Amino acid sequence: MYQIAFIGLGHMGLPMARNLLKAGFALKVFDLVQAAMDELAGEGALPTSSAAEAAAGAQVVVSMLPASRHVEGLYLGADGLLARLKPGTLVLECSTIAPESARKVHQAASARGIALLDAPVSGGTAGAAAGTLTFMIGGEAAALAKARPIFEAMGKNIFHAGPDGAGQVAKVCNNQVLAVQMIATAEAMAMGVANGLEPAVLAEIMRQSSGGNWTLEKYNPWPGVMENAPASKGYSGGFMAELMAKDLGLAQEAAQHSGSSTPMGALALQLYRLLLKQGKGKQDFSVVQQLFVE
Ligand code: NAD
């Protein structure tokens, strides 16, 4: 069993680390928030006072941080973790960050003989708690083979997306499609209801017809159509609009980098920014429905 350093015990990191403990891995943990470490200490993790202390002696480092700048801050530079880790250490970087930023960290890692995988996730906090996350992984197949038991303790679907940064590219592609589907569904629901249809009837017709998509199957944005969807709980829980805006921004950065034309993604980002300006960033991303109703 590997000795693992887990850095970043937020909404996602804490339940992921908990699943590693349950699977029997030895964990040293670090977060800027002491309370998060205290919570896991009772379950067998060893809290530390810095990322470097957590990583000392670890064969594997897992990180789950908010954004690119946090990840670059943790790993790069003379004081960064990569400068301290022993060659041969395995780094599983699970945060959602810009593919370019991931490639930068990959390069610095390989220059030191450290195998790094970018491994962003899908499945939200519920998937993190249940250990059913989807991992989209970029990097060497040999490193993934070594890391597989660790990913399997936290997730259900483990995809090798391709070389360095490919996991991040897959993640932003997926979330761009999700946002566009959500917006398209929300505007159609509003138009249908404004023209006299019952929301549940319209939702079911579209779900079973050629307009059917994931949001109509699992996550209808119209309140009351699906009992357990965030829309029926005041748009609480689920995946926050501000995180969707972040991912759409990363998708635009990737499109800029490759010169790709992504008009739907660009429009989706603008609509989510508008929601943030309306103070709805902390609500579930299906709250985009409210842009289309009076
Ligand atoms: P979060 O803000 O709840 O957690 C981040 C944690 O990192 C915090 O506890 C913070 O204190 C800690 N942190 C920040 N800088 C640190 C540092 N230098 N050293 C140690 N700890 C540090 O965020 P989250 O919701 O857990 O999301 C983490 C990542 O997962 C993000 O990149 C997010 O986009 C992605 N993600 C989130 C969800 C979701 O539903 N929340 C779903 C999929 C992917």
How far apart are the C-alpha atoms of 175 and 180, rounded to whole Å? 9
Q: Which two tokens stand for residue 13?
A: 């990191």
pLDDT on residue 29:
98
CB neighbour class for 194 (10 Å; exposed up to 12, middle 13-18, buried from 19) = exposed
pLDDT on residue 207:
98
Task: Choose one of 98, 128, 163: the last residue of a domain.
Answer: 163
Q: Among the atoms of ligand 1, which is closest to the Cα of residue 96?
A: 32
Q: Are residues 72 and 202 in the same domain?
A: no
Is the pLDDT at 219 greater than 80? The verdict is yes
Centre of ligand 1 to C-alpha 91, Å, is: 17
Mean pLDDT of 62-70: 97
Q: Are residues 133 and 278 in the same domain?
A: no
Q: Are residues 135 and 222 in the same domain?
A: no
Q: From the candidates 28, 104, 171, 246, which is the catalytic residue?
A: 171
Q: Are residues 152 and 173 in the same domain?
A: no
Out of 6, 7, 12, mutate this one to test ligand 1's pocket (max ligand atoms within 8 Å of CB): namely: 12
pLDDT on residue 237:
86
Mean pLDDT of 233-256: 95
Centre of ligand 1 to C-alpha 7, Å, is: 10
80 lines ligand 1 (CB under 6 A): no
pLDDT on residue 135:
98
Spatial CA neighbour of 45 closest among 19, 71, 64, 63? 19
Query: Would you place residue 197 in the very low, low, confident or very high pLDDT band (cuts 50, 70, 90)?
Result: very high
The H-or-E segment that residue 158 falls in is strand 155-162
Mean pLDDT of 242-262: 97
Task: Choose one of 163, 179, 212: the last residue of a domain.
Answer: 163
Query: Would you place residue 1 in the very low, low, confident or very high pLDDT band (cuts 50, 70, 90)?
Result: confident
Look up the CATH number of the domain holding residue 283: 1.10.1040.10
Centre of ligand 1 to C-alpha 203, Å, is: 34
Query: Would you place residue 71 in the very low, low, confident or very high pLDDT band (cuts 50, 70, 90)?
Result: very high
Query: Would you place residue 275 in the very low, low, confident or very high pLDDT band (cuts 50, 70, 90)?
Result: very high
Render pLDDT for 149-194 as a digit per residue (tens, 0 to 9).
999 999 999 999 999 999 999 999 999 999 999 999 999 999 999 9
Give the mean pLDDT of the chain: 97
How far apart are the C-alpha atoms of 255 and 259, rounded to whole Å? 6
Number of separate domains in the chain:
2
Which structural domain range is residue 239 located in?
A: 169-292
Task: Choose one of 130, 163, 196: the last residue of a domain.
Answer: 163
Provide the Cα torsion 221, 225, 231, 237; round to 10°.
-110
pLDDT on residue 294:
74
Query: Would you place residue 74 in the very low, low, confident or very high pLDDT band (cuts 50, 70, 90)?
Result: very high
Q: Are residues 69 and 95 in the same domain?
A: yes
82 lines ligand 1 (CB under 6 A): no
Look up the CATH number of the domain holding residue 141: 3.40.50.720
pLDDT on residue 215:
96
Q: Are residues 158 and 232 in the same domain?
A: no
Q: Are residues 150 and 27 in the same domain?
A: yes
Q: Are residues 224 and 137 in the same domain?
A: no
Q: Are residues 180 and 205 in the same domain?
A: yes
Q: Are residues 55 and 135 in the same domain?
A: yes
Q: Is 280 a catalytic residue?
A: no
Q: Are residues 175 and 255 in the same domain?
A: yes
Is the pLDDT at 147 greater than 90? The verdict is yes
